[in-house]
Structure 1
């Protein structure tokens, strides 16, 4: 079994649609392998995928690579994935099956409080983030690859990050708002966290203002 490092935290019919979407994504990832799989949901909202069959080991490794995995056994110095749970001026707190508190000094994303850094880089709640497990008694830190990704966002053409919606739902909302020609793509960050990549010359706050009323989401702009 693999516990994926992304959450399904919405309810009702939207929850069922999100789990159906995840099942399709897992199926696409494992297509061509000799496996059967079943997608479930833990009480803490992390999805679990049970895989059986001749290629089960390969399949589990593919899922870990694509989504990250929640594991109770983490080694110091190794990279893992947690979802952004909460924040204050001094820390970002990730959920990796247990709380991982990353001090602002260990984010490596410039000056400001942890809350200010979160907004500047568009870190919506529940977004998966890679971190390096600290030594016993020492804090964990944001992984180098994660820092590089977030800095790349600020050097691009602008983005609007969204939570609580699948990629298909965000794309449909952008289209309904008349902005299909103003974006490059919608990148999947997690099951319910997406990043709308703007075209050159597109105003991210303008897109946020137009789609915001149609999505029950947190939306944050990244402005180059």
Structure 2
């Protein structure tokens, strides 16, 4: 019987905040495989045939199945988690694309997002005026202030749309974009919940959950949401504050980076 195949490269790029070890990479692949396999519908005869690192630490995903339509359907589900790479001349516009924040707080004119643009490699700029419009109610806040209020940090997963492609001197392309309505709605839900949220990057959801339990904070952090392959949103219970949780679990997660969103500090921007 003929077996169809479908391959793609993730825009997600593996990273480690601490010392890079082969063991950590192997553990990540094992965990990541489970995460992807859990998203494959049981009624579809599709398997994850191979998952491996590329030279640049993006991942090759190989799917196998009997029907091309099923493979395409499953690949679209998985790309919501992993994203995919695009040739620089074939970047979709006005479509939700998975990406991760880069160089947060390093420039004043906006934030950059890696969505997997290749040949040449490029990141998408979300300019400051767009950040102010989408996240600050048009108020005259700096890039750094906006990022701090929303817990944005390097490797934070986002969904954006590419709005336009421009050209630098020499003919090299550059891109500008904005956050999607779906991403903004998720942020708005965080804010309207009134609950502090701790964001984590660099460590699996399983490790975060285990550490929170060991430190006796299971009741204080009743929900841990995976928002990316190595990123989580830890929702605090009412009356629990994010800085306290970070100070209690931070020393036990040396390979993790933390940020937070405190609804009381940003509610007025969503009114």
**TM-score, normalising length: structure 2:** 0.77
Partner of 1:192: 230
Partner of 1:175: 213
The reply to whether residue 50 of structure 1 matches residue 62 of structure 2 is: yes
Q: Distance in 2 between matches of 1:189 and 1:133?
A: 21
Q: Contact (CA 8 Å) 2:83, 2:115: kept in 1 or not?
A: no
Q: Distance in 1 between matches of 2:12 and 2:214?
A: 27
Q: 1:29 aligns with which of 26, 36, 39?
A: 39
The reply to whether residue 2 of structure 1 matches residue 13 of structure 2 is: no
Q: Contact (CA 8 Å) 1:3, 1:71: kept in 2 or not?
A: no
Q: Contact (CA 8 Å) 1:30, 1:59: kept in 2 or not?
A: yes
| Unaligned stretches of 5+ residues in structure 1 | none
Partner of 2:269: none
User: Helix, strand or coil for the counterpart of 2:165?
Assistant: coil
Partner of 1:123: 152
Pairwise mapping of residues 82-97 of structure 1 onto structure 2 (< 5 A)?
A: 82-87=99-104, 88-97=107-116
Which one has the largest radius of gyration? Answer: 2
User: Helix, strand or coil for the counterpart of 1:124?
Assistant: coil
**TM-score, normalising length: structure 1:** 0.92
RMSD, matched Cα: 1.8
Q: Contact (CA 8 Å) 1:160, 1:195: kept in 2 or not?
A: yes
- Relative to structure 1, the CA distance from residue 78 to residue 154 in structure 2 (aligned partners, 3 Å threshold; closer, same or farther) is same
User: Helix, strand or coil for the counterpart of 1:180?
Assistant: coil
Pairwise mapping of residues 67-82 of structure 1 onto structure 2 (< 5 A)?
A: 67-72=82-87, 73-82=90-99
Partner of 1:60: 75
Q: Contact (CA 8 Å) 1:6, 1:83: kept in 2 or not?
A: yes
User: Helix, strand or coil for the counterpart of 1:136?
Assistant: strand
Q: Contact (CA 8 Å) 2:12, 2:59: kept in 1 or not?
A: yes
Of Structure 1 and Structure 2, which has the larger fraction of its residues in strand?
2
Q: 1:109 aligns with which of 109, 115, 135?
A: 135
| Unaligned stretches of 5+ residues in structure 2 | 1-6, 117-121, 167-174, 264-271
User: Helix, strand or coil for the counterpart of 1:133?
Assistant: strand
Q: Distance in 2 between matches of 1:154 and 1:7?
A: 28
Deviations 1:110-139 (A, max 9, x none): 042222211211123212211111223272
Q: Distance in 2 between matches of 1:123 and 1:61?
A: 26
Deviations 1:142-200 (A, max 9, x none): 21221222232222211000111000000011111110111121110111111100111
Partner of 1:140: 177
Q: Contact (CA 8 Å) 1:160, 1:208: kept in 2 or not?
A: yes
Partner of 1:223: 262
Deviations 1:26-70 (A, max 9, x none): 122225221232112223322221112113222212212344333
Q: Distance in 2 between matches of 1:5 and 1:200?
A: 36
Aligned residues: 224
Q: Contact (CA 8 Å) 1:4, 1:67: kept in 2 or not?
A: yes
Q: Distance in 2 between matches of 1:53 and 1:126?
A: 32
Q: Contact (CA 8 Å) 2:113, 2:124: kept in 1 or not?
A: yes
